[in-house]
Amino acid sequence: MIAVDDLIALVRNYNPKTNENLLREAYEFGLAMHEGQFRHSGEPYFSHPVAVAAILTEQRLDDATIVTALLHDTIEDTKASYAEVERMFGKEVADLVDGVTKLTNLQLSSSETKQAENFRKLFMAMSKDLRVILVKLADRLHNMRTIKAMRPEKQAQKARETMEIFAPLAGRMGMQSMREELEDLAFKVLNPEARASIMRRFVMLQKETGDVIHRITGDMRQEFEEAGVEAQVFGRAKKPYSIWRKMSEKDVGFSRLSDIYGFRVITNSEDDCYRALGVIHQRWRAVPGRFKDYISQPKSNGYRSIHTTVSGRDGKRVEVQIRTRQMHDVAETGVAAHWSYRDGVRAKNPFAVDPAKWIASLTEQFDAEEDHAEFMEAVKLEMYSDKVFCFTPKGEVVKLPKGATPIDFAYAIHTRIGNACVGAKVDGMRVPLWTRVKNGQSVEIITAEGQTPQATWLDIAITGKARTAIRRALREVDRERFIKLGRELARSAFEHVGKKATDKALETAARNLRVEDIDMLLARLGSAELTTREVLHAVYPDLSEAESDDIELRGAVVGLSHDQHFTIARCCQPLPGERIVGISHRGKGVIVHAIDCEALEAFEDQPQRWMDLHWHAGKHPAIHATTLELTIGNDAGVLGRVCTLIGEQKANISDLTFEDRKPDFFRLLVEVDLRDAEHLHSVMSALEAESDVAEVRRYRDPSRVTTQAG
């Protein structure tokens, strides 16, 4: 464990004016509070807060943050209280410690609904003081460095949480070195064989080629010296996880992977950055399409650097990043650079992003999301996506996630532009709206009065802002029509059970279904987002489901003309309650697929064949086939119990095939006839509760042909 004098020395290295008495008092208080507590490794527990504080000294953070690190577990794990911490160390530290405690208690890898709510709390805590998340990230980094002491299942859970949440969050905050280490530590737990394989390949490569990094670094330094450019050059092999991700994305083996080495050139000025770039491009051949200038177009987290990839010795590609010292500080520590100290005073780094403005821009779009799924979609797009930079015809820059389309570009400019979009030109050429825009392209949006968003745009747009605006516009366009249809459906359904759809009854349904008012209830009913059965059940929960008439198969799908017939796709077996789309086939009518069906990829370039469909908002009979893949114990009576469970859920087994027979288990495909997605959930829940069922999942096969005509 780091001694108090050594920790103070680490802080004094960058902040000679540090309050040594405050640090010493916090150290002694934390040590006393954690006395008698031990980590899984057997070390005194207080060694962990001290290590977290030491990690934060690498980012040259202020005294309040270092003290928070020393005390970050006291309120949660010891008898210390907020009031006591406030009395001894002040309100600023007490609030920071309390914020870290609340973050620790958030279950960020829980169910989607709870996860979305906890992410809202996470961003709320960040908006109050970003130093809270800096301490939490350092806390997670030290826990990942010492993860071997945990149980294997706990290691896997922490590693997944780190890979999915904390590493991307560190990256989004510009803390690239921390992101890379978190990813690699999690990768070591989640896929140790793959990581070990990459490390072995590195050793073999070094034996074959020698010290490539040393040779190229020497060559670069010599070129800069001859050109009169003052610059430091650092080279390194990329992290194993970074290499693994590139191998997966590009679907290539290690031997075919380029730019596994990275070099950083640190200059004294911005002008020298561009001079250094010229020197490198004169000496080595630049790789087309691999140049990015983040100095003239910085990232939103303050990141500035020039990226280029060149062919080095023996044709090997290497990536070069060129930046000034101040840019490098931001590149390594991101928004943490805002608080960094140098020589006893806050370092005024001109490239450090104001955390208040940064977090405000980050949370603005999240606050606009109306439900949990849309909120999580926006969070993941923002945290996990690389950016592309496009230009308006006037030369203004628009930042978009990788994979964005002209629809996303239009909504990024203004919602009004997006809603009125009828086409787009990229670099002066007319392109389909589903085109993926690329770095440096000029995009012109063509608009027309009276144009409204199309439902198919939801499958084209990828940004949360665009998708939210499209959903809102679609609801407004169809609102009156859906309200009228919903009122008629409600009247008919209520009369069928001898009741009246009065305003009072509908108000009760809206309140119980957590819908804001009657109009919204009727609109969702008319648009098939709610079923009449759900509305009836919200008012009269004791009414039997059998009192509603079943919808015949030929009327189950809404959106077809009277002379069109349809068939349900066997590949994805969509169920009522799931989003669907129709693909027209000459001689076959319309084939109905689930919106996420893999078979739809074959029709991406044929938009004229796509049809916007939805299920009828009523009760469907149990005639919709769905295949389940079960792994069950090979024991007497297990298969019989499984069949009984399915029957008890009022689902009929129409086919059963054994896929694999082993001495201790069977794997089989069971085709069951179901009413809707809710019925499927009930059947799967019942099966998952059976102790002899090891696994149950929905089985989909893109190669299967379509069946079940309507």
What pLDDT is stored for residue 467 in this prediction? 85
User: Residue 593 — pLDDT band, cuts 50, 70, 90?
Assistant: very high
Q: Is the pLDDT of residue 300 over 80?
A: no
- Domain 4-190 sits in CATH at 1.10.3210.10
Question: Residues of the chain with pLDDT > 70: what percent?
Answer: 83
> In the chain, helix, strand, coil percent, each to 5?
50, 20, 30
Instruction: Look up the pTM and report it.
Output: 0.53
The answer to whether 214 touches 263, Cβ cutoff 8 Å, is no
517-557 tens-digit pLDDT:
898 888 877 766 777 778 888 888 766 444 445 677 777 88
- CATH 3.50.50.60 matches 194-346: no
The answer to whether 114 touches 128, Cβ cutoff 8 Å, is no
Tokens of 433: 């709206």
For range 225-236, the mean pLDDT: 89
The answer to whether 185 touches 170, Cβ cutoff 8 Å, is no
For range 192-203, the mean pLDDT: 81
Side chain identity at 263, as an amino acid letter?
A: F
Q: Is the pLDDT of residue 147 over 70?
A: yes
Q: DSSP label at 705?
A: P
Which residue numbers are catalytic? 76-77
Q: DSSP label at 593?
A: E
The answer to whether 56 touches 138, Cβ cutoff 8 Å, is yes
Cβ partners under 8 Å of residue 19, min gap 6: 63
Half-sphere exposure of 592 (CA within 13 A, CB side): 28
| Residue whose tokens read 């908006």 | 127
The answer to whether 420 touches 370, Cβ cutoff 8 Å, is no
Q: Is the pLDDT of residue 403 over 50?
A: yes
Query: Mean pLDDT across the chain, nearest whole number?
Result: 80
Q: Is the pLDDT of residue 250 over 60?
A: no
Query: 4-190 with 194-346: one CATH topology?
Result: no
C-alpha 508: how far from chain center: 37
Closest CA to 307 of 167, 439, 172: 439
| Residue whose tokens read 């430091």 | 232
User: Residue 121 — pLDDT band, cuts 50, 70, 90?
Assistant: low
User: Residue 273 — pLDDT band, cuts 50, 70, 90?
Assistant: very high
Q: Is the pLDDT of residue 409 over 90?
A: yes
Closest CA to 298 of 382, 178, 399, 405: 399
What pLDDT is stored for residue 152 in this prediction? 86
What number of H helices and E strands is found in the chain?
27, 23
349-362 tens-digit pLDDT:
566 666 566 566 65
630-680 tens-digit pLDDT:
998 877 778 878 888 887 888 888 777 878 877 778 888 988 989 889 899
Comparing 241-250, 374-383, 397-406, the range with the smallest average pLDDT is: 374-383
Comparing 50-64, 242-256, 268-282, the range with the smallest average pLDDT is: 242-256
Tokens of 38: 């031990």
Side chain identity at 543, as an amino acid letter?
A: L
What pLDDT is stored for residue 543 in this prediction? 61
The answer to whether 630 touches 642, Cβ cutoff 8 Å, is yes
CATH classification number, 624-709, choose in 3.30.70.260, 3.40.109.10, 3.30.70.360, 2.40.30.20: 3.30.70.260
User: Residue 113 — pLDDT band, cuts 50, 70, 90?
Assistant: very low
* DSSP SS3 for 487: helix
User: Residue 279 — pLDDT band, cuts 50, 70, 90?
Assistant: very high
Cβ partners under 8 Å of residue 68, min gap 6: 93, 96, 97, 100, 131, 135
| Residue whose tokens read 């819908």 | 515
User: Residue 209 — pLDDT band, cuts 50, 70, 90?
Assistant: low
Tokens of 100: 């870290």
The answer to whether 521 touches 486, Cβ cutoff 8 Å, is yes
